[in-house]
Amino acid sequence: MQKNLFGLCLTAGLLVAGCVTMGDVLAPPKVTVLDLKILQITPRSARFLGRIQIDNPNPVALNVQRVDFRLGAKNGGVFYQGQRLSLPLVHNQASQVLELPFAVPLATLQQAVKSQDRQDLKFEFSGKLFSNRPWPSFPRTFRLIQILPVPRPPEVGFAALGPPLANRQAALWLHVRNPNTFSIQVEQLSCRVDLGTAHWVVAASALAVRVPAGESAKLPFGLLTRHQRQPVPAENVPRDRDLNLRLQGEMVASSPFGDLILPIAERVTLASDRDQAP
């Protein structure tokens, strides 16, 4: 009985000793920044996504406690500081990709770009990885220097109500100006059109209309009835009196450096055809 008890104590002691010394023999995990992207630009903010990869070469799983990260300009100020908790377990001898989404006020980025008199910016994306294991190799640091253009939101506004489309469908014409040094592509439009007592909508997707860098385009969109989404005949648009036009919606355009979400909110008074007659 005493011999068995001694054996159990010896085994337990060896296990405890192994646990204590394991932190000294474990290899430090490798942390790599995969990329930094601008996902979306709105008139108020720029949405970023940073991705890091953790490679765990050890025979035990790695429990990441948190990631502290920040985005700034190389040799400039810090735009954003963030933290991510509740991270997934990095299994033994495996890799795990962590996504770190965050948003930066667009005015902050534009001010930094303006001070350098150029549209792109040299970003510095860096941070630290912490573990709740008492490993001597923590925290692990990561850092990426990357040049990214900062897209400017295009200008979208009312151009005209008509002429109609080829099938005599009433059309709303919008003016789009691209102030960027690269082309954009108008992909979607969702807009409510109130004209006097008439209420119509514009719903268009998969447009793929290209607007070259620094140029403008006048784009037509067919009007639909609000509920049945049927085409509105051009003759149903009253033009014998002045009318108040109200537009409310958004346009989505894509660029090589993220999607552009463009709100549309405009009120226009349309003069009657009689007022425009010579």
Domains 27-149 and 155-276 belong to one CATH topology? yes
Integer CA distances (angstroms), 36 to 45, 71, 108, 175, 181, in order: 16, 10, 18, 32, 20
CA distance 229 to 203: 9
Say which CATH topology domain 27-149 has.
Immunoglobulin-like (2.60.40)
CA angle 181, 185, 187 (to 5 degrees): 150
Query: pLDDT for 40-89, tens place per residue?
Result: 998 899 999 999 999 999 898 988 899 999 999 877 789 999 999 988 88
Q: For all residues of the chain together, what is the average pLDDT?
A: 85
pLDDT of residue 113: 79
Query: pLDDT for 134-164, tens place per residue?
Result: 667 789 999 999 998 888 888 999 999 888 9
**CA–centroid distance for 9 within its chain:** 58
Task: Determine the longest span between alpha carbons in the chain, in angstroms.
Answer: 116
pLDDT of residue 158: 92
Say which CATH topology domain 155-276 has.
Immunoglobulin-like (2.60.40)
Give just the sign of the alpha carbon dihedral 68, 71, 73, 78.
negative
Pick the more confident residue, 41 or 19.
41
The tokens for 230 are 């049927």
Question: What is the distance in angstroms between the CA of the first residue and the CA of the last residue of the chain?
Answer: 116
Q: Per-residue pLDDT for 230 more than 70?
A: yes
Tell me the residue type at 88.
P
Integer CA distances (angstroms), 216 to 5, 75, 156, 177, 202, in order: 86, 35, 10, 4, 21
Q: Per-residue pLDDT for 249 more than 90?
A: yes
pLDDT of residue 223: 95
Strands 78-84 and 64-73: antiparallel
Question: What share of the chain has pLDDT > 90, as a percent?
Answer: 54
CA distance 147 to 113: 12
pLDDT of residue 117: 66
Residue 175 · residue 220 · CB < 8 Å: no
Among 11-15, 53-57, 61-65, 128-132, where is mean pLDDT lowest?
A: 11-15
Q: Per-residue pLDDT for 202 more than 60?
A: yes
Residue 20 banded pLDDT, cuts 50, 70, 90? very low
Every domain of the chain and the residues it spans = 27-149, 155-276
Pick the more confident residue, 273 or 75.
75
Query: pLDDT for 75-126, tens place per residue?
Result: 778 999 999 998 888 999 999 999 999 999 988 888 887 776 677 889 999 9
The tokens for 81 are 């500081």
- Number of neighbours of residue 135 by Cβ within 10 angstroms: 18
